[in-house]
Amino acid sequence: MGYLYYGAETHPTEVPDRILAHLRVVATTKLRRGESFTLTWRHPDGGPEGRTSIWVQPAIPLKFVFDSADPEQLDTHYLQALAEAANTSSGITIDWTDQPAPLSAVGAKRAVAAA
């Protein structure tokens, strides 16, 4: 389980490493281009009900912390879906049950570049 730190928040959001790795690629690609987007997730079971949405933009610090020292292999289809969602008015909605399939990093780079 990895952690997503946003802005001045001292308590990170726990995110599975597989999902966090894909989110990192899409977010850094968007932010490098100076593009902002909305990121939403439902609160996990065992915590308060509801959901959280954040406005991700270049001036707000964003930090990804992974539990594993080894990089995740990326799923080009999942990357493309996240990139396309980031370009909509509703933004990216993370589903904690998503299980991106591991594909080559080369294919993942092509999918992000095409987004």
pLDDT digits (tens, 9 = 90+) for 29-65: 999 999 999 999 988 777 778 999 999 999 999 999 9
Is a pLDDT exceeding 50 seen at residue 106?
no
Residue 86 contacts residue 28 (beta carbons within 8 Å): no
Distance CA(28)–CA(20), nearest Å, equals 12
| pLDDT confidence of residue 43 | 85
* Number of domains composing the chain: 1
Structure letter (DSSP) for residue 25:
H
**What's the domain range around 46?**
2-114
**What are 71-88's pLDDT values in tens digits?**
899 999 999 999 999 999
- Tell me the DSSP string of 65-106: E-S-SSPPPB-HHHHHHHHHHHTSSS-EEE-TT--PPPB-HH
| pLDDT confidence of residue 100 | 78
Tell me the average pLDDT across 11-37.
Answer: 95
**pTM of the full predicted structure?**
0.82
| pLDDT confidence of residue 103 | 54
Residue 74 contacts residue 105 (beta carbons within 8 Å): yes
Tell me the average pLDDT across 19-28.
Answer: 96
